[in-house]
Amino acid sequence: MLYDLLQDKELAAILKNHATDLLLYLFEKNQEFGVLADTASITFDPMLPEDIYSKLPEFTLFVLMNYTYESARIHEGNLIFEAGFGPDNFGSVVTIPIEAILQIIVDETPIFVNLTASVQKQKQQQRDSMEAWLSNPENRRFFKD
């Protein structure tokens, strides 16, 4: 039952709206925060060097404080901010779709959790795996004509 509920697009939309409202509230209160997000859904501009990007975990925690917080904004369903990465503080604009945010954290405590973000990712991975399997002509022998 829970798995079915977490796949529901209506619930995903409710949680996305809630996350957006919560982020706007935190900006209004001038409260720094962190977000835990699905790294595969994040875009970097410019793209991070491969030696930095390859070390990012599946879910990355970004702590928005100081300049990073000051640069942050919500635009067209995305949380956007500037951040520095690696020992040389490589600068990049980070764009995170709101629906890819798994947690919003204040003072090391999660104040928002979006379980649908990880379920949607699993669902996409399953679909991608099946498409890859079906695209291999060798696998056609498993189907009856």
Confidence grade of residue 115 (pLDDT, cut at 50, 70, 90): confident
CA distance 93 to 71: 9
CA distance 116 to 100: 9
Of the listed ranges 15-24, 71-80, 104-113, 129-138, the one predicted with least confidence: 129-138
List beta partners, residue 73.
80
* pLDDT at residue 18 greater than cutoff 70: yes
* Domain 2-142 indexed as CATH 2.30.30.220: yes
pLDDT for the residue 123: 47
Domain boundaries, the chain: 2-142
CA distance 20 to 67: 21
pLDDT for the residue 2: 73
CB 6 within 8 A of CB 122: no
Count of other CB atoms within 10 angstroms of residue 92: 19
